[in-house]
Structure 1
Amino acid sequence: MLPVNEWVSEIAGIGRERQKNFLTHSLRMLRENFMKNFGLHVLNYMTEREKQFSIKFSPYVHEGNIIPLSEEFEKAYHDISRNGNAKIIFTDLCIKVMQNIRP
């Protein structure tokens, strides 16, 4: 859990707007990788760097976890928007992501 705590401390210090941008980008990447897994490449809008990341990440995003993952990122976005405690929100998000990410 130590790397998680370090990451949470880092992201808690970047400010609410950047935190919301991170969550929005994460939601977009979940969508892009889900579409990639269905072979819907015409619906993918990824940069080359994102495509490289997607090679290893996409097997972890599938029909069994896309809805719970999306809901958790949306909930975190909502909580950050309402001035929730960033450390608590991102710690909870990390735990939920770890529970849902499986190939």
Structure 2
Amino acid sequence: MAYDSDLADRVRDLVPAGTTEKQMFGALAFMVNGNMACAVGADDLLVRTGKTAYETAIAAGAGPMTMGTRTMSGYVNVSADLLGGDALADWVGWAVAMAESLPPK
């Protein structure tokens, strides 16, 4: 599965300088200080929320992040239809802030 290159370009414009990219599980992950902030999939954005903001992100329209049958707490999937206008900047900003709050790797 390939990632959405147009969405990846939009995310690149929003992440801080020094952010690295890494292909993972068919997606393109954006790493801030060595911690994954978000990842672009084929038709969605994986956002790292942390466990404390998970429910708030779900209430804002995101879906749970699942790998197989396991739900990954602290991460949500945001569908492409929720990423128009300034919404992408809000989701990426949230993910970057979460990654920056963690110790560098």
Per the normalisation by structure 2, the TM-score is 0.29
> Is the helix fraction higher in 1 or 2?
1
Give the greater-gyration-radius structure (CA).
1
> Is the strand fraction higher in 1 or 2?
2
Per the normalisation by structure 1, the TM-score is 0.30
